[in-house]
Amino acid sequence: MEVIVEPRRARLWAVLREAVRGTDQSFTTGPLGRGVFLLAVPMVIEMAGESLFALVDAFFVARLGAEALASVGLTEACLEIVYAIAVGLATGTTALVARRIGAGDAPGARVVAVQSLGIGLGVAAVFGTAGWFATPSLLRFMGGDPSTVRTATPYMRWMLGGEGTILLLFLVSGIFRGAGDAAIAMRALWIANGVNIVLDPCLIFGYGPFPELGLAGAAISTNIGRGLGVTYALSRLFAGHGRVGLGWRDVRFDFGVAAHLLRVSAGGIAQYLIAGAAWIGLARVLATFGSIVLAGYVVAIRIVIFVILPAWGFSNAAATLVGQNLGAGRPDRAERATLLTGFWNMAFMLGIMVLFLFAAEPIVNRFTADASVHRTAVDALRIISYGYGFYAWGMVMTQAFNGAGDTMTPMFINLVCFWLFQIPMAMFLSRAMGPSGVFWAIALSYSLSAIMGLTLFRRGRWKMRKV
């Protein structure tokens, strides 16, 4: 009897299609490699979509000049605080939803989802209003000169005023990721990106019937794109799609669950606030070298984000797998999933390191023709990439702790590595080496965070975390 063996390539494409379409597979049983792949693929594509946001903006904003790029850099340093709150809340949401889905408690997961969205709306209302009115003061505090403040004010106001789209997009994605429905979160990001790519040049340069809004147009198109992505994700959530399908009967405030979510999220918010504030500190150090250096840094970081966010996709897979398997009472499987994800992520990041070491100049050429800006951006790309092998593991360790609900350990690591090490090191090395010293401080601090994360992970205390 002839046995027909399905070609390996055909099997791979079948699993890839399943990952992109979405899957009903349980991530607490079955082949571990397949589970990691099914989660990681849509999460990598999702994060690639988020990084595309940054890359598209940089591509078009660069044509407005170095001052516009510097304005974006100062704005993004302030937005790091918003992202910290959004990612921190999403971290707690993912951990609680994943743990309940792993334990077979879908109603409990729905209660967590509703409280998460309610908290996000409240935070957006308060911080968005405050940010709109405080924009000029924030820009001056960040070291912007009068010309930069004038250029950046409309852009920053739109970005801070529209931060509700950032918060809700992260939170809805966190709900779907925790449930293992990563494909829905992926589609929301790509809808947001598709709209942004089309509107960005139209609103910046006034193509066709659109008004020429300059730098403010970049912010407006980003908010519209993210807003439509949020609309799609919420429609899927309330239509009952995925493992956490909400109905209007679920929309009620539960003080106990909300307070518990905030407690779990507190460490996540703190860890990203610490990291975000460190980026503000780095931007402040680089601002002392002038707008040209700051513009080069902005170009480099946009390119770095483009490759690092997909790597966070691998890491997010670890968070879901850890949370669900701990909920199912399978801590050893959670540990194996984390280590497997770490090796895959390291292979990816080492490939990116090689790319940046040998092709940094032609890559940067696509974003700026200014020789001084180009030189700074190339130096930043090459130097920061030396830490990528370590950083790959650091990302996975962070998300493994977060998926277990142990958000305080990554907070401690960030405090040590970014404030007690990175900022002082950046100030010291910048005096001796100029802007390159700041880039070396970034590479060294992320390498240190990976070593600390792996050491604490192997101790295994996260396995006993109750959420």
Question: Which whole number is the average pLDDT over 48-67?
Answer: 74
In a domain, 7, yes or no: no
Question: What pLDDT does residue 53 have?
Answer: 66
Question: Which whole number is the average pLDDT over 58-85?
Answer: 78
Distance CA 184, CA 161 (A): 26
Residue 280 scores a pLDDT above 90 = no
Q: Is residue 54 a contact partner of residue 305, using CB atoms and an 8 Å limit?
A: yes
In a domain, 344, yes or no: yes
Residue 427 scores a pLDDT above 80 = yes
In a domain, 6, yes or no: no
180-193 residue pLDDT tens: 888 888 898 889 88
Residue 1 scores a pLDDT above 50 = no
Distance CA 320, CA 243 (A): 13
In a domain, 1, yes or no: no
In a domain, 408, yes or no: yes
Question: Which whole number is the average pLDDT over 150-167?
Answer: 86
Tokens of 249: 């009967």
Domain count, the chain: 1
In a domain, 22, yes or no: no
- Domain of 411? 28-464
- Mention every residue, 6+ apart, whose C-beta is less than 8 A from residue 455: none
More confident: 147 or 315: 315
Question: Which whole number is the average pLDDT over 107-135?
Answer: 90
In a domain, 21, yes or no: no
In a domain, 4, yes or no: no
Residue 2 scores a pLDDT above 60 = no
Task: List, as one string, the DSSP characters of 143-207.
Answer: T--HHHHHHHHHHHHHHHHTHHHHHHHHHHHHHHHHHT-HHHHHHHHHHHHHHHHHHHHHHHHT-
Residue 200 scores a pLDDT above 60 = yes
Q: Is residue 98 a contact partner of residue 320, using CB atoms and an 8 Å limit?
A: yes
223-277 residue pLDDT tens: 999 999 999 999 998 887 677 878 888 889 899 999 999 999 999 889 888 887 7
* Residue indicated by tokens 């977060």: 402
Say whether pTM exceeds 0.85. no
